[in-house]
Amino acid sequence: METFLGIDYPTLWYLVVGLLFSGYAILEGFDYGAGAWHLFLKKDISRRIAINAIGPLWDANQVWLIIGGGALFAGFPVMYATMLSAMYIPFMLFLMLLVLRSAAIKFRSAEEMKWWRKTWDIIYFTSNTLIAFLLGVVLGNVLQGFELHENFIYKGGIFFAFLNPYSLMVGFTTLSIFMTQGAIFLLLKTEGKLHDRLSFLLKRGMVFFIVSFAVTSFYTLTYLHGVTDKFKEQPIFFALPILAFLAVANVPRLVSKKKYFYALVFSSLIMAFLLMLVAFQLYPVLLPSTINPEYSVTIYNAASSQKSLGIMLTIVLIGAPLLAFYFLFLYKTFNGKVKLDDTSY
């Protein structure tokens, strides 16, 4: 098996895919979180400012999802096919909600009638909230595993099997951290009475997150089979949960001091550390089988050919700096408080 810097190609591609979806969760996370607060903002002008805060960024942030999905399909086609078979309903709902969310952003301020804007406000709030929740539900199911038989054939339920207690907990935890991050981001982009209102909402959001995080962590450590085994084998990785808990504790402290930029950084680090924990816990498995561990989808039995992975890793080495430069330029260009004008949503 070919390697680069002593790491085999499937493992390198596992890291690439993980990095792309982490970027999506962090950058698009505060977009979804901002939208999940939408109906808590009572005035029309406040809702317009909140939408325009993410206006230049939301469609660019979805680049991470497109590239991540493409990288998953190209590098691990077996995992891509098996995942969509097992989670067909939530993924179709996810795509439908993405379309509705995009339409709401574009059409909400196109007309001034109250019923028109109220309708799109409800669609915008609902789509953002459910997208964030569904992402957590999918992650919770991946951690638990699927009923996979020989040749990666999924034999589980189709319609509501994905709505199990653990996935619901992970869903609420994901929603809560997105809402916390979204409120912090909006505080960076607003001022005046809206800023004060968001400060109040953020306190409620942090309580929601801390409670959800604590309950989900307790359930994971208590009932999820084998969750601590790898930490016993590699004690150095105990640093990840410690860093995650320290980041969680630091966000309220930074918010109380009104250091919102650093609070946004640490809320992003929470997601980064938690996703690294998931990656470490699963590796080298991509989709665990609850029937027989031998039926699990791994980075080795799901990977494309070595030649394909080698070519794609070369493309990543060329494209990654360009992507990083693009997002640095984008966020620097649209830094600062939101000011509405004739071109605003």
Domain of residue 265: give its range.
7-333
| Residue-level pLDDT at 155 | 85
- DSSP secondary-structure letter at 164? -
User: For residue 342, what pLDDT is reported?
Assistant: 67
pLDDT on residue 232? 77
pLDDT digit string, tens, across residues 199-213? 999 999 999 999 999
Residues 106, 111, 115, 121: what is their CA dihedral angle, to the nearest 10 degrees? 20
Q: Is residue 2 part of a domain?
A: no
Examine the pLDDT at 343 and tell me if it is beyond 90. no
In a domain, 303, yes or no: yes
Give 96-126 pLDDT, tens digit per residue. Answer: 999 999 999 989 888 889 999 999 999 999 9
Asked, for residue 72, whether it belongs to a domain, the answer is yes
Residue type, 285: V
Provide the sign of the torsion angle of the four alpha carbons 38, 43, 44, 49, taken in this order.
negative
Q: What is the pTM of this model?
A: 0.93
In the predicted structure, residue 194 carries a pLDDT above the cut 70 = yes
Report if residue 345 sits inside a domain: no
Q: pLDDT, tens digit, for every residue of 251-264?
A: 999 999 999 999 99
- Minimal CA–CA distance to 286: which of 77, 70, 131? 77
Residue-wise pLDDT for 260-296, tens only, equals 999 999 999 999 999 999 998 889 999 999 899 899 9
119 or 344, which is more confident: 119
275 within some domain: yes
Domain for residue 338, yes or no?
no
User: Of the segments 48-52, 55-59, 225-229, which one has the largest average pLDDT value?
Assistant: 48-52
In 3D, which of 2, 1, 10 has the Cα closest to residue 286? 10
Residues linked to residue 54 through DSSP beta bridges, in sequence order? none
The alpha carbon dihedral of 308, 311, 314, 320 has a sign of negative
Residue 159 inside a domain? The answer is yes
Give domain status of residue 339, yes or no.
no
- pLDDT over 70, % of the chain: 99
Number of domains in the chain: 1
CB 209 within 8 A of CB 177: yes
CB 279 within 8 A of CB 13: no
**Res. 3 pLDDT band, cuts 50 70 90:** confident
Does residue 340 have a pLDDT over 80?
no
Considering only the C-alpha atoms of the chain, give the largest distance between any 2 of them, rounded to a whole number of Å. 63
Decide if 289 contacts 148 (C-beta within 8 A). Answer: yes
More confident residue, 238 or 216: 216
